[in-house]
Amino acid sequence: MTGEKAPYLRIAEDIQRQIISGELRVGERVPSTRRLVRERGVAMATASKALAVLRQQGWVRAVPGSGTVVNEHARPRVPSGPEQVPEKAPETTLNRGRVVRAAIALADSEGRAALSMRRLAAELGVGVMSLYRHVPDKDELLRLMADAAFGQEELPEPGPAGWRAKLELSARLQWRAYRRHPWLAPIMLNSLVRPPVVASGLRVVDWALRALDGSGLDGRTRLYTAVSLHGYVGGIAASRAFEVESEQDSGITATQRQAADRELLTGLIESGRFPALSGVSGADAPDLDELFEFGLQRQLDGIAALLASRR
């Protein structure tokens, strides 16, 4: 078996051939690491290494929320082909911030399920044990990732005038963070009443409580109001997270899935069992951002009614 190419090189070359032949076109997703593991029967580290080679060569690039896709300028950056293995980064340059940033980039492009300490080490080009000098375990890594990602949006001080403008701004900033990082909501909202201790999350709740200062609500009611609003935003975001994860796992988009189910849906609607739905069944599927905005205003209207009832 001397001279036989390593499995990750064979995988990289096979994907490269598909790109050159046009079987995989610009912007299309290449197989994810989990799909390569499932279909090729290789280890996760092997699949990860194959995609890392293709990224270094310039054949593919990572797209947050979509996975790894064929690059617009799919040309090898070095003449030696996929046999060129990414150099390992000197471990002296490794620090907690770099580990967390790399983990966020990986989760953005391939989903939370693709993240493991071994996979992250491969992405960074270091040994797995090197990571444990900076983060004790994966749970702590996820907490640090959530804190960094959720904290990217700065809440202004003192912020806009009035409780409604403040809460509306806070909700929109949260939504933007969840949209940017589809994996974030399941971590931040793994429990609404006993959430993980994340400093940036505590900051949002504290800011909302201060927005309700002078409202006449007692402390417990203010807390319930802030947490309920936070839960609304996170709940919509979690629904999107499940959709993105499904696409990453299966390679089937929500639009494709909906098209496949159209005949079943039409049959059910036309059966007469759902008369109210029959009047709106021809409408387009709700736009997620529009749905968020509609629900946000109804949440704020409810808070306004609550405040009015206490006067």
pTM surpassing 0.85? no
Q: What is the CATH number of the domain that holds 228?
A: 1.10.357.10
Orientation of helix 33-40 relative to helix 7-21, angle to 10°: 110
Q: What is the CATH number of the domain that holds 16?
A: 1.10.10.10
The candidate with the shortest Cα–Cα distance to 232, out of 291, 164, 299, is: 299
If asked whether residues 45 and 174 sit together in one domain, one would say: no
User: What confidence tier does 83 reach under pLDDT thresholds 50, 70, 90?
Assistant: very low
pLDDT at 88: 46
pLDDT at 65: 57
pLDDT at 223: 93
* pLDDT exceeds cutoff 60 at 75: no
8 A C-beta contact, residue 137 and residue 120: no
pLDDT at 74: 57
pLDDT at 171: 94
Point out the least confidently predicted range of 1-5, 106-110, 127-131: 1-5
pLDDT at 211: 93
pLDDT at 152: 85
**pLDDT tens digits, one per residue of 25-63:** 887 888 887 788 888 888 877 887 888 888 777 888 877
If asked whether residues 187 and 283 sit together in one domain, one would say: yes
* pLDDT exceeds cutoff 60 at 82: no
**pLDDT tens digits, one per residue of 222-272:** 999 999 999 999 989 988 887 777 776 666 776 777 777 778 888 887 888
Q: Is residue 145 part of a domain?
A: no
Provide, rounded to the nearest whole percent, the portion of the chain with pLDDT above 90: 27
**pLDDT tens digits, one per residue of 132-172:** 989 999 999 999 999 999 988 788 888 888 999 999 999 99
If asked whether residues 110 and 175 sit together in one domain, one would say: no
Q: Is residue 95 part of a domain?
A: yes
Domain final residue, candidates 136, 151, 171: 136
Give the CA dihedral 168, 172, 173, 176, nearest 10 degrees. 180
Residue range(s) defining the domain that contains residue 32: 7-136
pLDDT at 85: 42
Q: Is residue 63 part of a domain?
A: yes
Q: How far apart are CA 201 and CA 80, in angstroms?
A: 47
Orientation of helix 163-180 relative to helix 219-250, angle to 10°: 20
If asked whether residues 130 and 169 sit together in one domain, one would say: no
If asked whether residues 207 and 304 sit together in one domain, one would say: yes
Number of domains in the chain: 2
The candidate with the shortest Cα–Cα distance to 65, out of 289, 242, 186, is: 242
If asked whether residues 174 and 299 sit together in one domain, one would say: yes
* pLDDT exceeds cutoff 70 at 80: no
* pLDDT exceeds cutoff 70 at 214: yes
